[in-house]
Amino acid sequence: MVMGYLERLTVFVWDFRHESSRSLCMNANQELQLLRILSGIPSVERLVLAGNLKCLAPQARINDHSFETCWNMPNIQDLTLIGDVWSSPSTASALQHMLKQSIQLKRLQIPIEATSVCKLVLPSLCTLSLFLQPDTIAINLMKQWYVFFENNPLVEDLWCNPSLT
């Protein structure tokens, strides 16, 4: 892929929420290949993954180990994850791995439903944005995040939108 030659790439936004039949559709293995290439570009500091990665869908038949071996982005400082896949219990292990490997992460935007990260300690995190996914009810979700706030007391900037109103 051409992206492997982009040695000074600092920001990559991958928005695949509105795929149409005419848009470029990638299969699960191609998504893993793209993530592997991005992991090989140490200058990438900001990454946006907006949509549901096929490689993390239960029907993809790709195990967490395949995803975890391609994710190696310790220089990521700003990570935005949008999509139902990040809230799924089946992807909890992969999501936790991503965040543990992102040791310089300062800013995180993630669905409030992604409670599998609540027990993690992210020592460099300064800014956290939590948002509610469409068609979700936020009952008791914030209570689960209390543990995260206890484990990450250095968060300076918190944006939380637990309702769609």
Whole-number pLDDT of residue 160: 86
Fold of the 8-161 domain: 3.80.10
Whole-number pLDDT of residue 163: 61
Mean pLDDT, to the nearest integer, of 138-165?
82
Whole-number pLDDT of residue 61: 65
Whole-number pLDDT of residue 1: 53
Q: At residue 143, does pLDDT exceed 90?
A: no
Domain boundaries, the chain: 8-161
**Own/partner pairs for 89-94, CB < 8 Å, 24+ apart?**
89/116, 90/56, 90/58, 91/56, 91/116, 92/116, 93/64, 93/68, 94/56, 94/64, 94/67, 94/68
